[in-house]
Structure 1
Amino acid sequence: MTNTPKVAVVILNWNGIKYLREFLPSVMASTWPNLDIIVGDNGSTDGSVDFLKQNFPTVQIIQNDQNYGFTGGYNKVLEKVNSDYFILLNSDVEVPAGWIEPVIELMEGDKMIAAAAPKIRSFAEKDHFEHAGAAGGFIDVFGYPFCRGRMFYEIELDKGQYQQSDEVFWATGAAMFVRSEYWVAAGGFDDRFFAHMEEIDLCWRLKNMGYKVMYCAQSEVYHVGGGTLNTENPFKTFLNFRNNLLLLKNNLSFWRATLIISIRFWMDLLAIVRFLNEGKRKDAWAVSRAHQNFIGHIFKGGGPKTKRSNLPDLKGMYRRSIVWDFFMKKKRTFDALNPKDFY
């Protein structure tokens, strides 16, 4: 690359001083030559800002006046960042020194690539993929997301089976590279999501605009995961179910969304029954509240407005039900799926 693009690593922090202490030094050791490292603070009360000023004086700090969630927080911070590329990086991610170079080189090679992500491995088990992103994100015809290397609760050992960089459906928000001009064109994150699946929504909007989303196998990072909301949190259950319905409404045509969301309501009813059978009454109630909240959003409208391309890019969408294939057909790894069943 003759002119080195400017890259901004932007870490959104909310009371995450322990993660900044542990993982920010690895980010500071990044070797990309034209780099800004920025922490956007979402109204922390744990002394994070003072800690950064005292220990990392070269890190830029952009402060929000309160916690606007993952979506609102990043939207507000990135309005104040001037760079060719944004890297949205979770605070609980360890990175090797040369993690940025392969991804930017990939994106610079094709102007139609709007977003990309490296391989996401587990910080606790570094030979395994990590739940949030693994080796690239996909989605099925009913809106259920899954990854190469992680299908539902099955997480694969990384044996080099996904070493080919390729187009995917979504890039994880744990370490998302996005071309800044396309971030602006897509309207950033949908504030209504607050957290969870917002990156899938953004990627789907970008693909509806005709752009590509990529997985870069030549870069890998190590993610702790569950740093803000653990997997058993009913609020996370609420966000996942509500946001998944918003995802469908935002990105499908009206009639297609009406059909798929109607089917999803019945599928979610089965999830409520499963939660009740497992004694997880708060999670069952969270699914019900998600439906009620979503119905309210139907009449409120809102969300970023983007112009849909005549040639949307559906690469990475699975034409079948991943729920059926995983639970009924026992297809537990990505390699078990038929490549012909993908767009």
Structure 2
Amino acid sequence: MNKDLQIAVVILNWNGKSLLEQFIPFVLKYSERATVYVADNASEDGSIPFLKRSFPEINIIANMENGGFAKGYNDALKHIEADVYCLLNSDVEVTENWLEPFYHLFEKDEKVAIAQPKILDFKKRSYFEYAGAAGGFLDMFGYPFCRGRVFQTLEEDNGQYDDIKEIFWATGACMFIRKHIFDTLGGFDEDYFAHQEEIDLCWRAQNRGYKTVYTGTSHIFHVGGATLNNMNPKKTFLNFRNSLYSLTKNLPLSRVFPLILLRLVLDGIAAVRFLFQFKLQHLYAIFRAHMSYYWNLPNLLKKRQKLYGYKKYHACTSIVWSYFVRKRKHYSSLVKD
């Protein structure tokens, strides 16, 4: 193992003093070889004074504004020198030796740019957690799903994903990324504000020939929904809009617009489903997501980067059809590894 590899654990915080109080002790206890930072997004709940008083060994970076996940990390990481960043949510309980597999992983293969551990549910500790589970994938239409989580169906952890596997995207709840790759890619796209910017970052890395990897030999527990609940209309808006952003930015140009047209139809079907469920705020969120996408399309086209060889991005054809029509609820029934 490379004893000189430097990992910086960077926790982004916004008005999360109670979460820091609960989870920072685990990070400090189980991250002896790493340097720990809290990047504060202009909190107003006394987070910084609390950290200085209770955990003086923590390095604090005070961002000037709450720029969300993307800008928050972009601003903070400019001030941190390390070989590998670990971007860790404030609502995560880490476990003993959770970092050790990543020292091995990044030393062994220089093509590994991004990685994540197994993400388990803090409240139901034998189950995978929504945000990341055992590694992320996309279907042909850009809808994300995970090993261990398809839509709202969460699998119990019975050791079925205790492997090391190349995945398509790693969760922003606990993402490891080489500093030089993060810098080369220009960091997160700040126009996303929050949600799915990690998918875009992983996709851009893969378009440059790098790999994203999951390791089940490390696990953490994630509370989830601490910033935006899964059924918050703002999250619906961001997820639908940002998914369209990623397709437009990262696909070969010849594939972009035919796929976007199909995707808009599927989004419309999702909107009708929300209508019949009387979730009118979510229906309106999809409408707003499409309007925002149209407005920003010229800028998105300018952001397209060079593709260093086209690579198949999707693990299956349609999780919407498979899940809701064919009733296939688990990764193993969707994808044959």
TM-score, normalised with respect to structure 1:
0.95
Q: Structure 2: which 5+ residue stretches go unaligned?
A: none
- Given that residues 316 and 334 in structure 2 are in contact (C-alpha distance below 8 angstroms), is that contact kept between their aligned partners in structure 1? no
Mapping 1:230-245, distance limit 5 Å: 230-245=229-244
Cα distance in 2 for partners of 1:193, 1:2 equals 35
Partner in structure 2 of residue 322 of structure 1: 319
Q: CA RMSD in A?
A: 1.4
Partner SS state of residue 339, structure 1: coil
Would you say the 8 A contact 2:70–2:192 is kept in 1?
yes
After superposition, give the CA deviation of every residue in 1:64-114 in whole Å (9 maximum; x if it has no partner).
Answer: 111001001100101111000000000000001310111221121100000
> What is the rounded CA distance, in whole Å, between the counterparts of 1:332 and 1:61 in structure 2?
42
CA contact (8 A) 1:135 1:217 kept: yes
| Contact 1:164/1:217 (8 A) holds in 2 | yes
What amino acid is the match of 1:172? T
Greater shift, 294-303 or 221-230, is seen at 294-303
Structure 1 match to 2:112: 113
* 1:260-271 paired onto structure 2 within 5 Å: 260-271=259-270
**Which residue of the partner structure matches residue 134 of structure 1?**
133
Q: Deviations over 1:134-162 (max 9, x none)?
A: 01111111101000000001000001111
Give the direction of change, closer, same or farther, for the CA distance of 1:183–1:313 in structure 2 (3 Å limit): farther
Match of residue 201 from structure 2: 202
The residue aligned with 2:295 is 296
Q: How far did residue 302 of structure 1 move? A: 7.4
Query: Tell me, what secondary structure is at the counterpart of 1:229?
Result: coil
1:250 aligns with: 249
Q: Are the equivalent residues in 1 in contact too, given 2:84–2:176 (CA < 8 A)?
A: yes
2:330 aligned with 1:339: no
1:138-287, aligned counterparts within 5 Å?
A: 138-287=137-286
Helix, strand or coil at the partner of 2:124: coil
Deviations 1:25-77 (A, max 9, x none): 000112442x2100000010000000000001011111111100100110010
CA offset at residue 305 of structure 1?
Answer: 5.9
The Cα of 1:231 is off from its aligned counterpart by 1.7
Going from structure 1 to structure 2, the CA distance change for 1:2 and 1:115 (only over 3 Å counts) comes to closer
Q: For residue 190 of structure 2, what is the amino acid of its counterpart?
A: D
Inter-CA distance 98–240: structure 2 relative to 1 (3 Å threshold): same
Equivalent pairs counted in the alignment come to 337
Contact 1:186 1:304 in 2 (8 A): no
Mapping for residues 45-60 of structure 1, pairs under 5 Å? 45-60=44-59
Equivalent residue, structure 2, for 1:28: 28
- The one-letter code of the counterpart of 2:100 is E
Which blocks of at least 5 consecutive residues in structure 1 are unaligned? none
Distance 1:31 1:89, change over 3 A: closer
Q: Distance in 1 between matches of 2:311 and 2:84?
A: 21
Query: Aligned with 1:317: secondary structure?
Result: coil
Deviation track 1:244-273 (CA, whole Å, cap 9, x = no partner) reads: 100101111222111111111111111111
| Separation in 1, partners of 2:76, 2:104 | 25
Deviations 1:156-213 (A, max 9, x none): 0001111111100011000000011111111110001000001011001101111000
Change (3 A) 1:174 1:298: same
- Once residues 3 and 232 of structure 2 are traced to their aligned partners in structure 1, the CA distance between those partners, rounded to angstroms, is 46
- One-letter amino acid of the structure 2 residue matched with residue 146 of structure 1: F
Using the TM superposition, give the Cα deviation of residue 306 of structure 1 relative to its aligned residue in structure 2, in angstroms: 4.0
Instruction: Provide the C-alpha distance between the structure 1 equivalents of 2:31 and 2:230, rounded to a whole number of angstroms.
Output: 34
1:19 match: secondary structure: helix
CA distance in 2, matches of 1:308, 1:160: 36
* Kept in 2: contact 1:114–1:213 (CA 8 A): yes
Q: Counterpart of 2:181 in structure 1: which amino acid?
A: Y
Q: Quick one: percent identity of the two aligned structures?
A: 46
For the Cα contact (< 8 Å) 1:191–1:303, is it kept in 2? no
1:329 deviation in Å? 1.1
